[in-house]
Amino acid sequence: MLRIHELSAWYGEAQVLRGVSLEIAAGEVVTLCGRNGAGKTTLLRCVMGLHQGQRGTVELDGTPLTGQPAHRRARAGLGWVPDDRGCYATLTVAETLSLPPVVGPAPWSLEQVYDAFPHLHARRGAPSTTLSGGEQQMLALARVLRMGARLLLCDEPTEGLSPLLVAQVGDILRQAKQHGVAVLLVEQNLHFATTVADRHHLLAEGRVVESLENSEVAAREKDLLAYLGI
């Protein structure tokens, strides 16, 4: 579904990605692990089309996205779940949910969203920045499901959440996966990553230094944690 080929990116003079290539199939969850500064967020921003100064190609279902502005990529089926959760002070929860256009063949209806996230229903008239951190994360996920996005770009969706909420994020991602949605997940929490992902890519200094099937992770856990600096 998503094919990234030889992607390089720069911040001014500094190169942060050095020829990253990876592929994700429909219904597959793939994580990017690595220390801070390894280039994980930059990679997501490149795929979304938010980063100026990149080289290489990104294809979605065989259609090249390279050079396309971010709003076209979203309309092609990319769902953006940013690390700051992307809430608006000037939009209510209900407005935040209905802001993006419906782009995919199987969007969630508003009723489905409210059934799955009763908290969002209760706070639907409140400015979305007034939600708690966990509720904001659910809102960010609910929003891209309502769009019917086919590939979710999730930047540390579990960061700062309680174990209960982390489990809920896992449920949502697995549910999306069952419906054929692919996920590119930036995740520091290795344990959480193994509960949702099919494959893992370890990123260091802008390169993919290791790629593992989820089944291989248990045996290599010590090495991986050392790599992550934990």
Catalog residues that contact other proteins under the rule CB under 8 A. 48, 50, 69-71, 74-75, 80, 82, 86, 88-91, 95, 98-101, 103, 143, 147
Beta carbon of residue 221, minimum distance to other proteins (angstroms, whole number): 34
Beta carbon of residue 172, minimum distance to other proteins (angstroms, whole number): 18
3-state secondary structure of 11: strand
Based on CB atoms, which residue is closest to other proteins, 43 or 103? 103
Based on CB atoms, which residue is closest to other proteins, 73 or 199? 73
Beta carbon of residue 7, minimum distance to other proteins (angstroms, whole number): 18
Token pair, residue 11, equals: 């911040």
Beta carbon of residue 84, minimum distance to other proteins (angstroms, whole number): 9
The separation between CA 167 and the C-alpha centre of its own chain, rounded to angstroms, equals 16
Count other Cβ atoms within 10 Å, centred on residue 101.
11
**Residues whose CB falls within 8 Å of the CB of residue 75, separated by 6 or more in sequence, listed in order:** 101, 103
Based on CB atoms, which residue is closest to other proteins, 74 or 212? 74
Beta carbon of residue 87, minimum distance to other proteins (angstroms, whole number): 9
Give the span between the Cα atoms of 105 and 220, in whole angstroms: 39
Beta carbon of residue 167, minimum distance to other proteins (angstroms, whole number): 26
Based on CB atoms, which residue is closest to other proteins, 74 or 173? 74
Give the span between the Cα atoms of 180 and 26, in whole angstroms: 5
Residue with tokens 């449920």: 171
Based on CB atoms, which residue is closest to other proteins, 30 or 81? 81
Give the span between the Cα atoms of 135 and 142, in whole angstroms: 10
Among 134, 141, 3, 101, smallest CA distance to 61 is for 3
Based on CB atoms, which residue is closest to other proteins, 128 or 188? 128
Among 8, 63, 31, smallest CA distance to 158 is for 31
Beta carbon of residue 143, minimum distance to other proteins (angstroms, whole number): 7
Give the span between the Cα atoms of 12 and 66, in whole angstroms: 20
3-state secondary structure of 76: helix
Give the span between the Cα atoms of 223 and 92, in whole angstroms: 45
Based on CB atoms, which residue is closest to other proteins, 94 or 190? 94
